[in-house]
Amino acid sequence: MDPKLRQLQTTVNQHGRRAAPVSFDLAVEELKLGQRKLAEQLEHVLVMLDVLTGPAAPQEQLLTAKEICKELTISRGFLHTLRREGLPVLRLGSSSPRYILDDVKAWMKSRGQP
């Protein structure tokens, strides 16, 4: 065992109410597992960030429902009708839906709408 870990274990045993041995190896393994889980979560966040800011969906073109209605000069009710008919929408987690302007315009053009 590493001398620093042995010294720390001895200090913990001397100052604790019980002199039970402390398993630092187990604690280190738990920390490594936690680190791996955090790395996986970070990877997921980075992938989602790429989706939002990548070339297919520039951040300045991600619009809220209010913004897409203003851009297309349509009502919120008509927007909901279009969504039921298959309007492309981006939904990440529990956030409000976002619309990619170019995708929405292409979808509407394919349906013969201006």
**Dihedral sign, CA of 65, 72, 79, 84?**
negative
The tokens for 113 are 């709408």
Q: Are 59 and 50 contacting, i.e. CB atoms less than 8 angstroms apart?
A: no
List of residues 6+ apart from 92 with CB closer than 8 A? 48, 51, 52, 98
pTM for this prediction: 0.46
Q: What was the pLDDT predicted at 57?
A: 45
Residue pLDDT tens, the chain, 114 long: 666 666 666 665 555 555 445 566 667 777 887 888 888 888 777 777 777 766 554 455 788 899 999 999 999 999 999 999 999 998 877 778 889 888 898 898 998 876
* Residues 65 and 97 sit within 8 Å (Cβ to Cβ): yes
Judge whether 103 and 111 are in contact, CB under 8 Å: no
Half-sphere exposure (Cβ direction) of 65: Cα atoms closer than 13 Å: 14
Q: Which of 33, 14, 32, 13 is nearest to 23 (CA)?
A: 13
